[in-house]
Protein backbone atom coordinates (compact mmCIF):
# COMPACT_ATOMS: atom_id res chain seq x y z
CA UNK A 1 0.00 0.00 0.00
CA UNK A 2 2.68 2.53 0.96
CA UNK A 3 6.05 2.74 -0.68
CA UNK A 4 8.36 5.67 0.02
CA UNK A 5 6.18 8.66 -0.90
CA UNK A 6 3.26 6.86 -2.50
CA UNK A 7 -0.12 5.66 -1.41
CA UNK A 8 -1.51 3.09 -3.78
CA UNK A 9 -5.13 3.27 -4.83
CA UNK A 10 -7.50 1.82 -7.34
CA UNK A 11 -7.40 4.23 -10.34
CA UNK A 12 -11.07 3.48 -11.01
CA UNK A 13 -11.84 5.51 -7.86
CA UNK A 14 -10.47 8.82 -9.19
CA UNK A 15 -13.72 9.85 -10.88
CA UNK A 16 -15.83 8.84 -7.86
CA UNK A 17 -13.55 10.85 -5.56
CA UNK A 18 -13.93 13.87 -7.83
CA UNK A 19 -17.73 13.47 -7.73
CA UNK A 20 -17.65 13.27 -3.93
CA UNK A 21 -15.51 16.43 -3.73
CA UNK A 22 -17.99 18.23 -5.98
CA UNK A 23 -20.95 17.07 -3.87
CA UNK A 24 -19.62 17.45 -0.34
CA UNK A 25 -21.90 17.42 2.68
CA UNK A 26 -22.12 20.51 4.87
CA UNK A 27 -20.02 18.89 7.59
CA UNK A 28 -17.34 17.93 5.03
CA UNK A 29 -17.22 21.52 3.75
CA UNK A 30 -17.00 22.90 7.29
CA UNK A 31 -14.17 20.56 8.30
CA UNK A 32 -12.35 21.05 4.99
CA UNK A 33 -12.32 24.80 5.64
CA UNK A 34 -10.37 24.04 8.83
CA UNK A 35 -8.01 21.44 7.31
CA UNK A 36 -7.06 23.00 3.98
CA UNK A 37 -3.98 25.13 3.40
CA UNK A 38 -2.09 23.41 6.22
CA UNK A 39 -4.13 25.26 8.86
CA UNK A 40 -3.80 22.51 11.46
CA UNK A 41 -0.23 22.41 12.74
CA UNK A 42 1.13 22.83 9.20
CA UNK A 43 -0.06 19.42 7.94
CA UNK A 44 -1.29 18.91 4.38
CA UNK A 45 -4.66 17.16 4.18
CA UNK A 46 -6.48 16.00 1.06
CA UNK A 47 -10.22 15.50 0.79
CA UNK A 48 -12.04 12.52 -0.69
CA UNK A 49 -8.73 10.73 -1.15
CA UNK A 50 -8.59 7.31 -2.81
CA UNK A 51 -6.60 4.92 -0.64
CA UNK A 52 -6.27 1.27 -1.65
CA UNK A 53 -9.80 0.27 -2.75
CA UNK A 54 -11.58 2.94 -0.72
CA UNK A 55 -12.11 6.69 -0.53
CA UNK A 56 -11.56 8.40 2.81
CA UNK A 57 -13.07 11.78 3.65
CA UNK A 58 -9.74 13.41 4.56
CA UNK A 59 -6.19 12.09 4.49
CA UNK A 60 -2.77 13.33 5.59
CA UNK A 61 0.05 11.29 4.11
CA UNK A 62 2.74 12.57 6.49
CA UNK A 63 0.68 11.52 9.53
CA UNK A 64 -0.85 8.47 7.80
CA UNK A 65 -4.11 9.78 9.25
CA UNK A 66 -7.57 9.39 7.77
CA UNK A 67 -10.40 11.49 9.15
CA UNK A 68 -13.94 10.28 8.58
CA UNK A 69 -17.23 12.05 9.21
CA UNK A 70 -20.03 9.68 10.11
CA UNK A 71 -23.41 11.01 9.07
CA UNK A 72 -26.80 9.41 8.71
CA UNK A 73 -25.62 7.27 5.78
CA UNK A 74 -23.20 5.47 8.12
CA UNK A 75 -25.94 4.45 10.59
CA UNK A 76 -26.65 1.23 8.72
CA UNK A 77 -23.05 0.62 7.63
CA UNK A 78 -21.27 0.22 10.97
CA UNK A 79 -19.97 -3.28 10.25
CA UNK A 80 -18.91 -2.30 6.73
CA UNK A 81 -17.14 0.82 8.05
CA UNK A 82 -15.38 -1.20 10.74
CA UNK A 83 -14.15 -3.83 8.24
CA UNK A 84 -12.97 -1.10 5.85
CA UNK A 85 -11.14 0.70 8.63
CA UNK A 86 -9.42 -2.49 9.83
CA UNK A 87 -8.25 -3.24 6.30
CA UNK A 88 -6.76 0.25 5.95
CA UNK A 89 -5.21 0.13 9.43
CA UNK A 90 -3.21 -3.01 8.59
CA UNK A 91 -0.61 -1.10 6.54
CA UNK A 92 -0.44 1.69 9.12
CA UNK A 93 -3.20 4.20 8.40
CA UNK A 94 -4.78 5.53 11.57
CA UNK A 95 -8.28 6.93 11.89
CA UNK A 96 -10.17 9.66 13.64
CA UNK A 97 -13.96 9.52 13.31
CA UNK A 98 -16.35 12.35 14.04
CA UNK A 99 -20.11 12.43 14.10
CA UNK A 100 -21.68 14.71 11.50
CA UNK A 101 -23.59 16.67 14.16
CA UNK A 102 -20.46 17.25 16.24
CA UNK A 103 -18.72 18.78 13.22
CA UNK A 104 -21.69 21.07 12.63
CA UNK A 105 -22.29 22.02 16.27
CA UNK A 106 -18.84 22.02 17.92
CA UNK A 107 -16.02 22.53 15.42
CA UNK A 108 -13.74 23.77 18.20
CA UNK A 109 -13.93 20.38 19.90
CA UNK A 110 -13.22 18.60 16.61
CA UNK A 111 -10.16 20.76 15.93
CA UNK A 112 -8.86 20.28 19.48
CA UNK A 113 -9.26 16.51 19.13
CA UNK A 114 -7.29 16.50 15.86
CA UNK A 115 -4.55 18.72 17.32
CA UNK A 116 -4.32 16.54 20.45
CA UNK A 117 -4.07 13.41 18.29
CA UNK A 118 -1.24 15.00 16.29
CA UNK A 119 0.62 16.00 19.46
CA UNK A 120 0.29 12.49 20.93
CA UNK A 121 1.08 10.55 17.77
CA UNK A 122 3.79 12.51 16.07
Closest alpha carbon to 122 in 41, 45, 3: 41
The pLDDT assigned to 75 comes to 58
Question: So where are the chain's domains?
Answer: 2-117
Task: State the alpha helices, DSSP H only, in 1-55.
Answer: 14-22, 26-35
Q: What is the CA radius of gyration of the chain?
A: 14
Residue-level pLDDT, tens digit, the chain, 122 residues = 444 457 789 999 999 999 999 999 999 999 999 999 999 999 999 999 999 999 999 999 999 999 999 987 655 678 888 888 999 998 899 999 999 999 999 999 999 999 999 999 98
What is residue 15's predicted lDDT score, i.e. its pLDDT? 97
The domain 2-117 is placed in CATH, from the list 2.60.40.1190, 3.40.960.10, 2.60.40.10, 3.40.50.720, at 3.40.960.10
Amino acid sequence: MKSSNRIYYNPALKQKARELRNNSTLSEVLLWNELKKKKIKGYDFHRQKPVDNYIVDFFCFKLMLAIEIDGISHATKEEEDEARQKELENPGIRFLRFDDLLVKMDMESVIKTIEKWIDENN
